[in-house]
Amino acid sequence: MKAALQLLIAGWLAVFSLAAPAKEAAPLADDPLTERRLLAITTELRCLVCQNQSIADSNADLANDFRREIRKLIAEGKSDHEIMEFMVARYGDFVRYRPPVKGTTILLWAGPGVLLLIGLTVLVRYLRRRNDRISDAALSPEELKAAEALLDASRQDNKPQ
């Protein structure tokens, strides 16, 4: 029984490994300077598929295409600034991890601070309203007698004997 289970698992692993497409590794450039420039540029660019990874960290097919394109632009003699401008012109400011501050990206830069201020304002207003609702109301004579009776009963229960 154990051998049959192991054979079944081995068969499934073989089927899944054949079905998975093989990822082709991006070819490395012959020049280490080119690779350093590529790494510096790709760490500043966001993978549009993963969105929480840089192009340098992503294994998505689009990231591989971006790296190939950037290598080609480096080979053509483009500067890092020109490559970044090319990528921004093609994919928008969203492709950059640190987009420039301008009219179209002001929400990206100011948004978290504005949301924090709104949250603090709502919290302070809620706490003030809650405190205003809490009042020290005097007890009616009946409520006062009931409270004294409860306290007397509690004191007698706690008396040492």
- How wide is the angle at C-alpha 149 spanned by C-alphas 148 and 153, nearest 5°? 115
> Does the pLDDT at position 53 exceed 70?
yes
pTM of model > 0.85 = no
CB atoms within 10 A of CB 122: 10
- From the list 58, 40, 42, 61, the residue with the least C-alpha distance to 50 is 58
Positive or negative: CA dihedral 29, 32, 36, 39: positive
Q: Is the pLDDT of residue 30 over 80?
A: no
State the average pLDDT over residues 44-52: 85
129 in helix, strand or coil? helix
Q: Does domain 22-95 have CATH number 3.30.565.10?
A: no
Tokens 């790296």, located at residue? 67
